[in-house]
Amino acid sequence: THVPGTYYSENMFQGFFCGNPDEAAPNNSQPYIASLATRALVFIQADNTAIGLMCFITIGMAEVSSCEVFVKKDQHVKRGDPLGTFHFGGSSYCLVFGPNVKLNWIGLPPKGDKRWQDWQDMDNYHVKSGLAT
């Protein structure tokens, strides 16, 4: 499903905070941009009934001009199958699960752990590594 949006938008409050143009405004405007930018939604019905229906959401943020989806309606996808692509760079994406799916995140500290206060210092996940079970 394609959700049309806008391009080159940023939150005005981020761009001119304290009267000085902010070069990081596109980064600081990400929550705002994510609600206005072009998006694509790919709904996937998992073979595992404990997972059920999930949605892969792509967001063409900042200068990214489009989100192209490769899969077709009712197509069965498996691990490693390409779902789509961004044009002119990359952008952001997320995978949304239903409220009854319980994920065990790999490598994240438990809720309330003091390491969450300095979350920017946490290790990044490697590409193609496991995120949750």
Query: What's the pLDDT band for 61 if we cut at 50, 70, 90?
Result: confident
Ranked by mean pLDDT, the top range of 31-40, 73-82, 120-129 is 73-82
pLDDT digits (tens, 9 = 90+) for 14-53: 555 566 666 666 667 777 777 777 788 999 999 999 999 9
Torsion angles phi and psi, residue 45, rounded to 5? -95, 110
**Per-residue pLDDT band at 58 (split at 50, 70, 90):** confident
Domains identified in the chain, total number: 1
The verdict on residue 79 lying in a domain is yes
pTM of the model: 0.71
Is residue 65 one of the residues assigned to a domain? yes
Q: Which residues form the domain of 70?
A: 2-100
Does residue 93 have a pLDDT over 90? no
Evaluate whether residue 18 is within a structural domain: yes
Residue 119 lies in a domain: no
Instruction: Give the pLDDT of residue 84.
Output: 87
Range among 71-75, 83-87, 124-128 rated most confident? 71-75
111 is a domain residue = no
